[in-house]
C-alpha cells in the first residue's frame, strides 16, 4: 500500500468539507473493501477520511410508528443479530448474515456495503485498464464473464456486489446522504445508477457526500390479524461461506387473507445495480401465489436477460430464486418467515 494521510474528522461537517476540498480523499469506514482496492493498486488515496471515530453513526433504531433507522457505520454483525431486524425485516438480517465471513462482518459497515466497488476481476486486476477505470473496453464482453451481468449491462458489465442493497430495496428503504451543502434523501433504488449514466460510478454520491442513514418505513396494517408481512433473502454462492452472490433474490411481501397485497422483488448479482423486477411484482399482485404463478413471475423477470456467453446459468438460477422466494413469502404463517 502507498502511504496516505489519515484524518479523524471531529464532525460530519468536517468530514464532508475535507472530502470535497481534496480530490484524492476517500472515505474509510470498516476498510474491508477500500484497503483491498488500495493493496491491489486500483486506487491510491492521498487522504483517508475515517468515519469510525465520528459519534452516533452506528445506531439501529426501531419503532412501530417510525420503522427502522440504521446509521451508516452500523456493522453487518450488529445488523444480522438485531432482534427487531430479525423479527420484522428478515430479508435484511439474512442478507447481512450472508455477507463474507464472521470476521469481516464484525468490521464491515452498512454504508461501506452499499458503496463498495465492483468485484469484476478485470476491474480488480491492475494489469487491465478497463472501461470501469477510465479505459476503453469492458474486457468481460469478449473475455471471462462467468460472474458478470445478464441484465442492465453495457457499456460495462459489472454486477453490483452488495447483498444488503437488494434486501433494503425490497423493503422500500430510503437513503440519506450528507454533503458540504447539507443532507438529502432518496429511495435507495434511485441511489444506484446504470453504467449508461456513468460507467465509472455505481451511485449518485457527489463530491464530498457520505451516506449517513438508511430508513425502512413502517408497514401499514401490520396489526390486522388477516394480514401478514414476510420477507426473505436467497443467495447462491459457489462456496458455503465467504462468497459473493452468483445470483440472489430479495422478496418482501404483504398478504391479506392469502392474497398478495403488495410485493417488491429485487435481484442481486445479475446487474450493475440491484435489479428490481416489476414484471414479477405485477404477476403476483392481488393473487394467491402458487407454484405455477411463482414460476411465471420468475420467468417474466428474466425475459430481457442477455447472457454474455459464460454466464447463461444465471438466467435460470435467478428465475428459480424468485420463484422460491415468492413461495416462501406467501406460505402459510406456520412456515418460517
Partner 1 sequence: MKQRRKIRKQKAHIAFVLNGEPCEVAFAPHKTLLEVLREDLNLTGTKHGCELGECGTCAVLLDGKPVLSCLVLGLDAEGREVTTVEGMQLPEGRLHPLQETFADLGAAQCGYCTPGFLLTALELLAKNPKPTREEIAQALSGNLCRCTGYIKIYEAVELAAAHMRGEKAEVAEEVVYGLKS
Ligand X SMILES: Cc1cc2nc3c(=O)[nH]c(=O)nc-3n(C[C@H](O)[C@H](O)[C@H](O)COP(=O)(O)OP(=O)(O)OC[C@H]3O[C@@H](n4cnc5c(N)ncnc54)[C@H](O)[C@@H]3O)c2cc1C
DSSP summary character for residue 81: H
Pick what 2 binds: partner 1, ligand X, none; C-beta below 5 to 8 Å, kind-dependent: partner 1
The reply to whether 100 sits near ligand X by the rule CB under 6 A is: yes
Quick one: which H or E segment has residue 262? strand 259-268
Q: Of 223, 189, 20, give the one whose Cα is nearest residue 114.
A: 189
The reply to whether 326 sits near ligand X by the rule CB under 6 A is: no
Round to whole Å and give the CA distance between 98 and 100: 7
Q: Is the peptide bond before 155 cis (omega within 30 degrees of 0)?
A: yes
The reply to whether 18 sits near ligand X by the rule CB under 6 A is: no
Q: Quote the Cα angle for 204-317-268, to 5°.
A: 15
The reply to whether 39 sits near partner 1 by the rule CB under 8 A is: yes
Q: Which of 67, 71, 112, 153 binds ligand X (CB under 6 A)?
A: 112
Pick what 99 binds: ligand X, partner 1, none; C-beta below 5 to 8 Å, kind-dependent: ligand X
Q: Which residues pair with 174 in a beta bridge?
A: 187, 215
Q: Which of 76, 120, 168, 251 binds ligand X (CB under 6 A)?
A: 76
Q: Of 230, 242, 234, 298, give the one whose Cα is nearest residue 269.
A: 234
DSSP letters spanning 163-198: SHHHHHHHTT-EEEEEETTEEEEEEHHHHB--TTT-
* Contact range with ligand X by CB under 6 A, out of 9-17, 126-134, 214-222, 241-249: 241-249
- State the residue for C-alpha cell 437488494: 166
The reply to whether 43 sits near partner 1 by the rule CB under 8 A is: no
Round to whole Å and give the CA distance between 57 and 69: 11
3-state secondary structure of 114: helix
Which residues are CB-neighbours of 244 under 8 A, at least 6 positions away? 119, 147, 161, 237, 269
Pick what 162 binds: partner 1, ligand X, none; C-beta below 5 to 8 Å, kind-dependent: ligand X
Q: Which of residues 222-241 bind partner 1 (CB under 8 A)?
A: 240-241
Round to whole Å and give the CA distance between 40 and 238: 23
Q: Which of 109, 148, 311, 330 binds ligand X (CB under 6 A)?
A: 109
Q: Which of 10, 35, 43, 285 binds partner 1 (CB under 8 A)?
A: 35
Q: Which of 21, 63, 103, 206 binds partner 1 (CB under 8 A)?
A: 103
Report, in Å, the least distance between residue 101 CB and partner 1: 3
Binding site for ligand X (CB under 6 A): 26-34, 36, 51, 72, 76, 99-100, 104, 107-109, 111-113, 115-117, 161-163, 205, 210-211, 242-244
Binding site for partner 1 (CB under 8 A): 1-6, 28, 30-32, 35-36, 39-40, 50, 52, 77, 100-104, 106-107, 240-242
Amino acid at each position: 500500500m502507498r502511504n496516505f494521510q489519515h484524518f479523524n474528522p471531529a464532525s460530519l461537517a468536517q468530514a464532508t468539507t475535507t472530502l470535497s476540498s481534496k480530490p484524492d480523499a476517500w472515505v474509510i469506514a470498516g476498510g474491508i473493501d477500500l484497503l483491498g482496492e488500495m493493496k491491489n493498486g486500483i486506487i491510491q488515496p492521498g487522504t483517508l477520511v475515517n468515519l469510525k471515530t465520528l459519534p452516533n453513526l452506528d445506531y439501529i433504531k426501531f419503532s412501530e410508528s417510525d420503522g427502522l433507522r440504521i446509521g451508516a457505520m452500523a456493522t453487518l454483525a450488529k445488523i444480522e443479530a438485531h432482534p427487531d431486524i430479525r423479527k420484522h425485516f428478515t430479508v435484511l438480517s439474512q442478507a447481512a448474515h450472508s455477507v463474507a465471513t464472521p470476521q469481516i462482518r464484525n468490521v464491515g459497515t452498512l454504508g461501506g456495503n452499499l458503496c463498495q466497488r465492483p468485484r469484476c476481476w478485470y476491474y480488480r486486476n491492475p494489469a487491465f485498464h478497463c472501461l470501469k477505470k477510465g479505459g476503453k473496453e469492458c474486457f468481460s464482453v469478449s473475455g471471462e464473464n462467468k460472474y458478470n451481468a445478464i441484465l442492465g449491462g453495457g457499456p460495462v458489465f459489472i454486477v453490483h456486489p452488495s447483498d444488503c442493497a437488494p434486501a433494503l430495496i425490497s423493503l422500500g428503504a430510503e437513503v440519506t446522504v450528507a454533503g458540504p451543502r447539507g443532507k438529502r434523501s432518496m429511495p435507495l433504488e434511485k441511489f444506484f445508477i446504470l453504467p449508461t449514466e456513468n460507467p465509472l460510478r455505481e451511485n449518485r454520491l457527489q463530491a464530498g457526500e457520505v451516506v449517513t442513514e438508511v430508513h425502512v418505513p413502517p408497514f401499514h396494517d401490520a396489526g390486522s390479524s388477516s394480514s401478514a408481512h414476510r420477507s426473505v433473502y436467497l443467495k447462491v454462492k459457489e462456496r458455503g461461506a465467504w462468497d459473493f452472490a452468483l445470483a440472489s433474490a430479495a422478496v418482501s411481501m404483504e398478504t391479506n387473507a392469502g392474497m398478495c397485497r403488495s410485493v417488491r422483488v429485487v435481484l442481486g448479482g445479475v446487474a450493475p445495480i440491484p435489479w428490481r423486477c416489476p414484471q414479477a411484482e405485477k404477476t403476483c399482485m392481488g393473487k394467491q401465489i402458487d407454484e405455477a404463478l411463482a414460476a411465471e413471475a420468475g420467468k417474466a423477470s428474466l425475459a430481457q436477460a442477455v447472457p454474455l456467453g459464460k454466464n447463461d446459468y444465471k438466467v435460470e438460477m435467478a428465475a428459480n430464486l424468485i420463484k422460491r422466494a415468492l413461495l416462501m413469502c406467501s406460505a402459510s404463517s406456520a412456515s418460517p418467515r
